[in-house]
Structure 1
Amino acid sequence: MVVLRAVSAQSDLLGEAPAQSERQALLIENLSFSYRDKPVLDDVGFAVEKGRFTALLGPNGAGKTTLFSLITRLLETSLGRILIAGRDTREAGAAALASLGIVFQQPTLDLDLTVRQNLAYFARLRGLSLKEAGRRIDRELTRFDMAERARETVRSLNGGHRRRVEIARALLHDPDLLLLDEPTVGLDAPSRKAIVSHVHALAGERDVGILWATHLIDEIREEDALVILHEGRVVARGISADIVARSGPGSLDTTFTMLTTPTRESSAGERA
């Protein structure tokens, strides 16, 4: 069965385009990208505020990873603009990325180094002194309940604990923006729940903007900022509870299904 989506209803779920402000950790304006001649992102725009958890929700293939690659400059486009803590990534380059922390979907820790060695290596790459690096490492390991495991090799840790180390590492240089690309993939339910809770708490405690990419609806809370991405376009943005309320009776699950079900026209185009 094909669900028809009303254009006016989608417009209501988009609201006004975000304008630049001092509280923004990230601002994306009119961003488009294509692989060869295939459009992947089309006129994407939204903001991530400091001190807030923002969920980027979309089905697999929606364009979430491509968007993250553009934010981190692994990919480049001349169509649109990306500002991190007020700095244009195209104009400021590495200076803009200095305010960014990232946790990739695929693990990037050295399995044969200890937890502390992994963090110390990253801290040195960021130019922190030994004393300051030690202070920040102790702070983050304590925050993530990993201080007692600092001398253990990463190989000995379970998936949830490895993720905690990766998030701790991404915070060592006190970024304004923290990106997490599907960070709970492959984790068991208790580990996934713990990571989601830790990162939600981080936003307010550290006044850092969080952009959490996921396809899992249960990782999103009613008070979270939410951007729904489908087929490379933003189809809803705002506070999660408000988006659900404006879309009609139901839950975020039903709203997400409505917004990410192909229209009759696009389905016909695909068949052709």
Structure 2
Amino acid sequence: MTARPPTTQYEAATPAFEISDLVVRHGRVTAVHGVSISSPPGRVTALLGPNGAGKSSLLGVVSTAARPDAGTVRVFGHDVRDSPTAARRRLGFVFQERTLDKELSVERNLWFHARLYGMKRADARARISLLLDLFGLAHRRRQPVEELSGGLARRVEIARALLHRPGLIVLDEPTNGLDPTARATVWSDLLRLRDELGVTVLYATHYMDEAEYADEIVILRRGRVVRQGSVDRLKGGLESSRLVVGCADDEAAAQQLRAAGFEPLIEPGGVAVHCPDPEARIAEVVRALDVPVLAVSVHHPSMNDVYLAVAGEDAAAGPGEAPRRPEEAVTP
């Protein structure tokens, strides 16, 4: 099975999605404030942020389910406002809520989707068989969806979204409610779509570990982009990499390190020296000490550190919860 390849040099150079100055309002409330992000084909982009950050509102416009109030959104060059049908044919969408017909079999759910997209019968039959094989569902093709686990049902939804050969798949909280094993399986499937088929993936999540699967992470807060970049770039932007030395006398160790030109801080694990390359400073720090060294450890920032640094007071509730004062999360 292969994703539909670009048919022209222009299409190959066209972004899979291009969002420019997007504004989305719900009545008097502005959910998305002038967001601009884009992706070339074949990349994975994560939207990370708490509930109320504007992730679902943004995805609603990309999926053509909602209209933008200002700005433009293009899917492989097709404007979702002016050419929604053309844009819709280039993308597949997996909703946060389960949308399969539970009484129908796995196969019948896929056939129903194929009819909606006007696929020819022979083509639909071949695609369904290929996707069932790809997702390990061939032996469950006649099984009612209501008998499937949450993880298997999610795999059926992803297979359904790929049935009409989209170049972009959009997912809103794709593993919400799944157990760790099912979550890992879903992500294995999604990364395989990128690596083997060149499918572009855009997804929203509040799980820190899931954001790290992305080539590009966009952190949203109150409808605005507050940080954007690769995992390494985001982590590298924090000054929280540190070398921690546990000594027999931490107070004396801190004094000796200050005398050597370091700026140590005493913390529960020992004496910390913050620096961008702690591995390279181990020997230098240890040589500066005249007290017994009991342990040496290196710590680098995590995505949780990145999130806490940019999410401000919203982080007090945690990335998976609503902001502390949701009425301030958006402005009319």
TM-score class, shorter:
0.7 to 0.9
Deviations 1:218-255 (A, max 9, x none): 11336621111111001112212111112333111100
Residues 32 and 247 of structure 1, relative CA distance in 2, 3 Å threshold: farther
Which residue of structure 2 aligns with residue 121 of structure 1? 112
CA apart distance, 1:23: 4.4
Q: Which runs of 5 or more residues in structure 2 are unaligned?
A: 1-10, 241-300, 315-323
Query: What is the 5 A alignment of 1:112-261?
Result: 112-221=103-212, 224-249=215-240, 250-261=301-312
Which residue of structure 2 aligns with residue 14 of structure 1? none
Residues 245 and 222 of structure 1, relative CA distance in 2, 3 Å threshold: farther
Q: Which runs of 5 or more residues in structure 1 are unaligned?
A: 1-19
| Higher Rg of the two aligned structures | 2
DSSP 3-state at the match of 1:65: helix
Amino acid at match of 2:303: L
TM-score w.r.t. length of structure 2: 0.71
Which residue of structure 2 aligns with residue 89 of structure 1? 80
1:103 and 1:180 in contact (8 A); partners too: yes
Amino acid at match of 2:113: F
1:222 and 1:239 in contact (8 A); partners too: no
Deviations 1:179-214 (A, max 9, x none): 000011111110011101211121122211100110
2:46 and 2:214 in contact (8 A); partners too: no
Residues 131 and 188 of structure 1, relative CA distance in 2, 3 Å threshold: same
Which residue of structure 1 aligns with residue 89 of structure 2? 98
CA apart distance, 1:127: 1.2
DSSP 3-state at the match of 2:13: coil
Which deviates more, 125-134 or 166-175?
125-134
Residues 142 and 21 of structure 1, relative CA distance in 2, 3 Å threshold: closer
Which whole-Å CA distance do the structure 1 matches of 2:234 and 2:12 have between them?
22
DSSP 3-state at the match of 2:313: coil
2:169 and 2:202 in contact (8 A); partners too: yes
**Greater relative CO (CA pairs within 8 A, separation 6+):** 1
Which whole-Å CA distance do the structure 1 matches of 2:123 and 2:50 have between them?
41
CA apart distance, 1:152: 0.6
CA apart distance, 1:125: 1.3
Residues 207 and 23 of structure 1, relative CA distance in 2, 3 Å threshold: farther
Which residue of structure 1 aligns with residue 295 of structure 2? none
Match for 2:313 among 243, 254, 262?
262
Which deviates more, 96-105 or 248-257?
248-257
Which whole-Å CA distance do the structure 2 matches of 1:106 and 1:93 have between them?
22
Amino acid at match of 1:94: T
Query: What is the 5 A alignment of 1:1-80?
Result: 22-80=13-71
1:222 and 1:241 in contact (8 A); partners too: no
